[in-house]
Structure 1
Amino acid sequence: MSVNPPFRADIVGSFLRPDAVKAARVRLAAGEIDAAELRAVEDEAITSLVARQAQAGLKVATDGEFRRSWWHFDFFGMLDGVNVVELDHGIQFQGVQTRPLGLHIDGPVGFPADHPMLEHFRFLKPVAEAAGVTPKISIPAPTVLDFRLERDALAGSSYGDHDDILEDLAATYRSAVQAFYDAGCRYLQFDDTAWAYLCSEDELKKAAERGIRTDHLAERYAALINASLRDKPADMVVTTHVCRGNFRSTWISSGGYEPVAEQLLGETTFDGYFLEYDNERAGGFEPLRFLPQGDKVVELGLITTKSGELEDADAIKRRIDEASAVAPLAQLALSPQCGFASTEEGNVLSEDEQWAKIETTVAIAADVWADA
């Protein structure tokens, strides 16, 4: 890599929404303020968040996804040819279901030149640089859009089945990567639940019921990712976060990375991988053997964002030692396992507990890696 990220102590991206942002969104929905007034509240909250990330010792900052309601639907719904629609069901997590929204494709999928998240990054960049940290923005991966489509989501479009949409998805993301680069972004992240779901027999069964051809799906998704990153500029880092579901501190899938590790780590052209390793559902470190020797980095997600209980630093260091028996320590780093608020509802912990997690991540990384 020709620039510094991913860092030894890094973050996935989302943070608990401040009360001011929550209140402003309620007032917007009630017609008491307009979009410009909401944006002013978000601007102030993001500026404070960036300063807090720098104060915590991070070398990277995000906007906390404060302008989003969902980690993925907001981005997808702003693409050409993609609509967010109401369904008769939400996404089923353990013991709770999300709001009943999904995606429908009504035309050729594409990335518009005025996609609003480009402006989100343009605001973040100077604020982060003034604080002395690298700005990062996360967007959902193209694999997520394909994997989340319901059986009838392509009805009325020019796409006959899931395989037909992949070429346009790759072209859409090539345009997105270039657009963010032109906006000054040098650290971009693809958030992805699909790879974790491919490790779950239950989720694969559900995917087949939605009309997805699941045989050799990991190979097709690796090809989709590589086609999406084909024209990535050399001085831009693109990483991915593999998530098992994160909604109000609950989860969806279980299963270690073994079924997809060869394709994900060995074949995709990401610069780094944020992998969840905060509990037994993630399996062991053995799949890290597929990480090619070189500059690619695996961010070990050993710090959970699903509860406020603070991890024991020595226990985390022992787990890093275990991972370094499989992959070189020089290619490992540390991060929380996920964001703190993949949706605006947020996980079940306090802001103080959130920042204690971040500070612990930074402190442990400084003890383990000399270049942290």
Structure 2
Amino acid sequence: MSLLHFSPPFRAEHVGSLLRPSTLLEKRAQFDANACSAEELEQAENIAIAAAVKLQQAIGIQSITDGEMRRGAFYEGVFEKFIGMDNTIRPIETFKVYLPYVQFFIAMGLSHVPSIYCTGKIQWPQGGVYVKDFAYLKSLIPSGDVKHIKVTICGPTWMHLRHGSDHTYDTQVYQSDAAYFTDLTKAYKEEIRALYALGCRSIQFDDPTFAFLCADSTIEGMKAAGMEWEKLFDTYISVYNDILRERPSDLTVGLHTCRGNYKGLHYCEGGYDRIAQKLFNTLDVDSFYLEYDSERAGGLEPLKFLPPNKVAVLGLVTTKNGKLETVAELHDAVDEAAELIMQGSPRRSRASARNQICISPQCGFASVAEGNPVSEEEQRAKLALVVEAAKSIFG
């Protein structure tokens, strides 16, 4: 059994994305309209990232991200950069209708949605996916803090959950999910290897996949479609474990289970009860970033299944709106979580249970570039609250 990984994660954590400044949003709009060059957009991104780093440092957030300033959405920059992938506009019929956010697209009247389709053998691109981005971020901070940089990456199962075996890849290229995931796994491993060589010691996978399996509507829809959700659940866990097999012992890996974070909206509801025991005990990550900012996330009871060698980062502060929580509220939630973790197998002391807990906002502030309906001042206040609460609770 592996040991608990800390520093990272830190007692005061955050999920990664930050509000984009208006100057960057304007520059990206210009770029999309062919009114500025890629170099000009990159310069605006660099300025925004430098400001994001200063914000995190000033507040006392130790896990440093680039705020996802170079992305239009959290999942950008992985699949479409792998060789063999085609970023295109997909008919709504190629998405799985039982997924809550697909229902949202349908309700909006959308007939086509941008997505990724595999048209050739998947390979890691020379030069990597986030390697250049990491190098720039690395240049902005003291050398001793490079190990605190957290790279956020869309999970490997996301496109497959969206489209299923019939619309994720060309069957002339891959004849089975196993073949598709074998090459996708290799590409992810190459990216992680390259980032590690540059000094990356913290990776966070962002993946709504597992949270969507908490939604009754998803399970009911899968059953109606003749799908075995538990078999798919096992497949997705195996994909992650294959990617992370033989990873360096000093590389900390976390998983953020996202219920949707689109301009203040969420896509699904449901507690972790259905998936917690298997997810917590068989997925080979060090920490779980869990959303607990509202009743839609269910109760804390599934934390009883958290094994002694893993960390729960409790997302107790919402990024959906600007209403500020209190230190007392966060303190009470941590106490309740510790009580439940103590009851796990094996049973453990209160001190040991508390030692498995960190706190954070429930999601990023801008999973899409437009961001949530939160001001920059409210974003700063919420991040500062997490730091203040962590000091109060954990010392």
Give the TM-score normalised by structure 1: 0.92
Residues in 2 aligned to 1:71 and 1:163: alpha-carbon distance in whole angstroms:
26
1:252-279 deviations in Å (ceiling 9; x for gaps): 1111111111221111110111000111
Q: Match of 1:13?
A: 16
Residues in 2 aligned to 1:286 and 1:8: alpha-carbon distance in whole angstroms:
21
Q: Match of 1:152?
A: 167
**How far 1:167 sits from its partner (Å)?**
2.2
Q: Match of 2:61?
A: 58
Residue 351 of structure 2 is aligned to residue 358 of structure 1: no
Residue 311 of structure 2 is aligned to residue 297 of structure 1: yes
SS at match of 1:43: helix
**How far 1:206 sits from its partner (Å)?**
4.8
Q: Match of 2:339?
A: 325
SS at match of 1:216: helix
Q: Which runs of 5+ in 1 are unaligned?
A: none
1:198-227 deviations in Å (ceiling 9; x for gaps): 111322355578896523222222211111
Deviates more, 1:203-212 or 1:161-170: 203-212
Change (3 A) 1:39 1:73: closer
Q: What does residue range 112-261 of structure 1 map to in structure 2 within 5 Å?
A: 112-129=125-142, 134-149=148-163, 151-206=166-221, 213-261=228-276
**Contact kept? 2:240, 2:283, Cα under 8 Å:** yes
Residues in 2 aligned to 1:205 and 1:162: alpha-carbon distance in whole angstroms:
22
Change (3 A) 1:315 1:2: closer
Residues in 2 aligned to 1:230 and 1:319: alpha-carbon distance in whole angstroms:
34
- Give the AA of the match of 2:229: T
Q: Match of 2:291?
A: 276
Change (3 A) 1:234 1:131: closer
Residue 41 of structure 2 is aligned to residue 26 of structure 1: no
**Contact kept? 2:120, 2:170, Cα under 8 Å:** no
Residues in 2 aligned to 1:96 and 1:12: alpha-carbon distance in whole angstroms:
28
Residues in 1 aligned to 2:179 and 2:215: alpha-carbon distance in whole angstroms:
24
**How far 1:363 sits from its partner (Å)?**
0.4
- Give the AA of the match of 1:340: F
Give 4+ residue runs of structure 1 displaced > 4 Å after superposition. Answer: 93-99, 130-133, 205-213
**Contact kept? 1:200, 1:255, Cα under 8 Å:** yes
**How far 1:161 sits from its partner (Å)?**
4.0
**Contact kept? 1:154, 1:161, Cα under 8 Å:** no
Q: Match of 2:38?
A: 35
**How far 1:31 sits from its partner (Å)?**
2.5
Q: What does residue range 98-113 of structure 1 map to in structure 2 within 5 Å?
A: 100-113=113-126
1:171-218 deviations in Å (ceiling 9; x for gaps): 222222112111221111111110001111322355578896523222
**Contact kept? 2:324, 2:381, Cα under 8 Å:** yes
Residues in 2 aligned to 1:96 and 1:266: alpha-carbon distance in whole angstroms:
38
- Give the AA of the match of 2:118: I
**Contact kept? 2:152, 2:206, Cα under 8 Å:** yes
**Contact kept? 1:50, 1:131, Cα under 8 Å:** no
Residues in 2 aligned to 1:3 and 1:289: alpha-carbon distance in whole angstroms:
20
Residues in 2 aligned to 1:251 and 1:315: alpha-carbon distance in whole angstroms:
22
SS at match of 2:20: coil
Residues in 2 aligned to 1:325 and 1:83: alpha-carbon distance in whole angstroms:
48
Residues in 2 aligned to 1:165 and 1:206: alpha-carbon distance in whole angstroms:
24
**Contact kept? 2:128, 2:194, Cα under 8 Å:** no
Change (3 A) 1:348 1:144: same
- Give the AA of the match of 2:371: G
**How far 1:347 sits from its partner (Å)?**
0.7
Give the TM-score normalised by structure 2: 0.87
- Give the AA of the match of 2:39: A
Residues in 2 aligned to 1:115 and 1:205: alpha-carbon distance in whole angstroms:
39
SS at match of 1:278: coil
SS at match of 1:105: strand
- Give the AA of the match of 2:133: H
Change (3 A) 1:106 1:209: farther
- Give the AA of the match of 1:107: G
Q: Which runs of 5+ in 2 are unaligned?
A: 96-100, 342-352
Residues in 1 aligned to 2:80 and 2:13: alpha-carbon distance in whole angstroms:
28
Deviates more, 1:66-75 or 1:109-118: 109-118
